[in-house]
Homo-oligomer: A and B are copies of this chain.
């Protein structure tokens, strides 16, 4: 098994008995399974392939089952902006709920499998099951809060704090899924990380080596080992760029 899919395989083994059990849509997936067909429908995509494309007709929500996916937007002039990295259990496509098209492109960062909840199933679900609506609204709210946090990170913190926060976030997510919180593979490229954190690739690269020299990390290509997690946390508040607002 290759390094870059180590976490994935581990996850698939752990979750094989009950597909969609560990996703963020507890009740909804239950409802779909009781309902009938839907929940099992899904698929797999290879690294670099798209789940959906920005501007494409809304086909429903996707739930990542294994692997990892990035969503990104393209401005009219072609400038890409990475919106988010999605790990197993996370829901993609919530931004499509405000219209009939997707507002971002979802790209598999490694071999990934997913299940899909079609627009029709979604409609039925919302009609029949009010609890599902609450769950979805909760998910959307959580994403909004996450975006707000990221805005604060990018807007207020220096480069080193951003990368530290990024790594700590990954660490937490892996821990939440039962993996090592200190050793994992990055499924995304430096370019993607840089774009996500609003930095230049070279800056990200320099920070990685800088963190290594400081004894915080041990990095070899995409393999990351966190040596001093408290040292990373200490960076979080440090890199502040401007003072508090008034009024």
Contact = CB atoms under 8 A, between A and B. Distances in A.
Interface of A: 48, 72-73, 75-83, 94-99, 103-104, 107, 126-127, 130, 133-134, 136-145, 147-152, 154-156, 189, 191-192, 194-195, 198, 200, 237, 240, 242-247
Contacts of A103: 141, 144-145, 148
B95 A137 contact: no
A85 B127 CA distance: 33
Given A126-B133, A191-B247, A247-B189, A75 B147 contact: no
Contact of A151 (B83, B97, B191): B83
B141 A98 contact: yes
A133 to B, nearest CB: 3
A75 B156 contact: yes
Copies assembled: 2
Nearest to A133: B133
A242 B246 CA distance: 31
B245 A138 contact: no
B244 A151 contact: no
Contacts of A194: 242, 245
A104 B144 CA distance: 11
A195 B245 contact: yes
Contact of A189 (B79, B98, B136, B246): B246
Given A137-B137, A143-B144, A144-B147, 8 more contacts: A79-B240, A79-B243, A79-B244, A81-B152, A83-B148, A97-B138, A191-B247, A192-B247
Contacts of A142: 98
A144 B149 CA distance: 13
Contacts of A152: 73, 75, 79, 81
B155 A198 contact: yes
Top 7 A-B pairs, shortest CB-CB distance: A98-B141, A155-B198, A133-B133, A140-B140, A81-B152, A97-B141, A98-B142
